[in-house]
Amino acid sequence: MITGIFWVLILMRLDKFVCKSTELTKNEATHLIREGQVLVNGDVIVSEVTQVHENNQIILNGQLLKTRSFRYILMNKPENTICSNIDEVYPSLFNYLDIDRVSELHVAGRLDADTTGLVLMTDDGRWSFDIIRPLKQCKKVYRVGLSRSIKDGVVEKFRHGVQLQGESNLTLPAELEIINRSEVLLTLTEGKYHQVKRMFAAVGNRVVSLHREKIGNISLDVGLGEWRYLTMDEVRTIVR
């Protein structure tokens, strides 16, 4: 059975390790660490920012700690929801999850409220960082509806990078596949603020619908508002 809860070997801060091994809050964990109640491989550690490995022997008040495994979730985000842990003007997409400790999860690469499609959620910060940092070259594929017919030459412009308003550098090269004159597939390896909308605005067009279909090798395969855990193979495609 696929549970979507896996071990991925990484370092983490000591306070985070304690929180993921107990029911303590971050403030409570920090207090106990500074009080000298946490041992790492037999040594008292009083700094909560100390980096520890899951294979280290970490003891709190005589009890050996073991972290809960990280979780990796795929969701098909509905329109008019936000990638925040709390409701704001629009409701949080986390309301769709009926699992424990939802507050520990975050979105790896947010979408705007009016954008639908593939969202990845996790409590593994290192894994999500590999998704969003441009140097990792993790591709994201968007299906884009446009208000006007796509102009000649835009594919080539996107391939060389576009000058966005307020930006000093061009965007990274992007792949543009024309489905029809007003619908395209756009593949990016970065995630600037409102980047898709700003790129098309820079070439005299306007985005009227935006739907993310793929992140790396992970494709959207659930209905609107539905979710599932990722398989171990899917998780590993990001951390390679």
CB atoms within 10 A of CB 12: 18
Q: Please give the helix or strand (H or E) that residue 29 lies within, else none.
A: helix 26-34
Closest to 111 (Cα-Cα) out of 226, 195, 199, 200:
195
- Verify that 161 and 112 share a domain, yes or no: yes
Residue 4 has pLDDT above 60, yes or no: no
Q: Identify the CATH number of the domain in which residue 148 sits.
A: 3.30.2350.10
- Local confidence band at 53 (pLDDT 50, 70, 90 cut-offs): confident
Give 154 or 100, the one with higher predicted confidence: 154
Mark whether 13 and 81 lie in a shared domain: no
Return the pLDDT at 239: 65
Domain of 49 in residue numbering reads as 5-64
User: Is this model's pTM higher than 0.85 or not?
Assistant: no
Same domain, yes or no: 22 and 139? no
Whether residue 124 contacts residue 236, with contact meaning beta carbons closer than 8 Å, is answered with no
Statement to judge: residues 200 and 124 lie in one domain: yes
Say whether both 105 and 156 belong to one domain.
Answer: yes
- Using CB atoms within 10 Å of the CB of residue 189, give its burial: 0 to 12 exposed, 13 to 18 middle, 19+ buried: middle
What's the one-letter identity of residue 178?
Answer: I
pLDDT attached to residue 6: 46
CB atoms within 10 A of CB 208: 14
- Backbone dihedral angles phi then psi of residue 17, each to the nearest 5 degrees: -60, -45
Could you tell me the CATH number of the domain that includes residue 13? Answer: 3.10.290.10
Same domain assignment for residues 81 and 178:
yes
Cβ–Cβ under 8 Å, residues 186 and 145 = no
**Residue type at 93?**
L
CB 120 within 8 A of CB 137: no
Residue 85 and residue 49 share a domain: no
Residue 54 has φ and ψ, to the nearest 5°, of -60, -25
Q: Could you give the number of structural domains in the chain?
A: 2
Q: What are the pLDDT digits (tens) for 131-158?
A: 888 777 889 999 999 999 999 999 999 9
Q: Tens of pLDDT along 174-220? A: 999 999 989 999 999 998 889 999 999 999 999 999 999 999 999 99
- Burial (CB count <10 Å: 0-12, 13-18, 19+), residue 141: buried
- 14 and 108 both lie in a single domain: no
Q: Are residues 126 and 210 in the same domain?
A: yes
Beta carbons within 8 Å of 69's beta carbon, 6+ residues apart: 5, 6, 7
The count of residues in the chain is 240
Give the Cα separation of 240 and 92 in Å (integer): 31
Sign (positive/negative) of CA torsion 135, 138, 144, 150? positive
Catalytic residues: 112
Residue 126: pLDDT band with limits 50, 70, 90: confident
Q: Which residue has the tokens 């996107």?
A: 158
- Both 126 and 223 in one domain: the answer is yes
